[in-house]
Amino acid sequence: MAARFAALHTRAARALMAECVSATRNVLGQTRHVTSQNSARNVSTQTSARSLPVGAKPQLLVSSMGRHRKGLASDLTSIIFEQGASITASKKLMVENHYAMMLAVWAPDGADSLRALLESDEVANRLGTSVKVALLDGQADAAGETASAQRRLKLNCPQRPGIVLAITELLKDHSCKMSSVDAEAYEKTSEGGSEIWFALECIVDVPAGVDPDRVSSDLRFWSTAHNAQVVFDKWLKPHFAPLSHA
């Protein structure tokens, strides 16, 4: 009888403990949710007075690169937010534990003071890395050239030195410009074994007066000679454009 009573007592205690843990988790979850909502609401309220007006252009290109650490992007964007500025476009790239990041920034109170702050030792110490800032001219293309067409280029081929050089030289011969480039080497497995392949995807700006079909033909000719798979098709511009088009 005593053993049966002890077993019942143990099960009851375990059930009570489980209910307490569950209740605690619910309270913590609700607290985090409310805190997150309040933080988002506060940020939205503070930035509403400095919304980007129609026709405004970013004045600064902020860049930073180095060894990645958790919270670095948050720290940098916090500094920009604290100065009342807005980020209009961004790009971040990770290679192992290193990063490279670019931000297009609109500063309603003027770019000079924000530029001086971002390049200061104070910010470098806060971030643990330096920041470079360049002035933007507000033009879509510094050379005054306007792309008449845009194409997406996708390339896959066995990895070897000189692939990027060959593609960039081919596009340069047609006065084309690459933007929003992503590339990486990867292992491809087949029945014959494993091999390192190279993948590249980018947006190509084709200037007025250049036939995109001629560019495509030259790319196909190159791909045949180098056992490469090439796609050169029309690019459906996403809602968020690449940084180079900000």
Same-domain pairing of 88 and 122: yes
- The domain boundary, picked from 111, 135, 159, lies at 135
pTM of the full structure: 0.60
Same-domain pairing of 69 and 23: no
Same-domain pairing of 215 and 240: yes
Between CA 119 and CA 102 the distance in angstroms is 14
Domain containing 107 equals 57-135
Domain count of the chain?
3
Same-domain pairing of 62 and 105: yes
- Counting as low any pLDDT under 70, the low residues of the chain are 1-50, 138-147, 236-246
Between CA 204 and CA 133 the distance in angstroms is 26
Quick: pLDDT tens for 187-230. Answer: 999 888 899 999 999 999 999 999 999 999 999 999 999 999 99
Same-domain pairing of 62 and 120: yes
Find the CATH number of the domain harbouring 152: 3.30.70.260
Same-domain pairing of 66 and 122: yes
Cβ contact 64:101 at 8 Å = yes
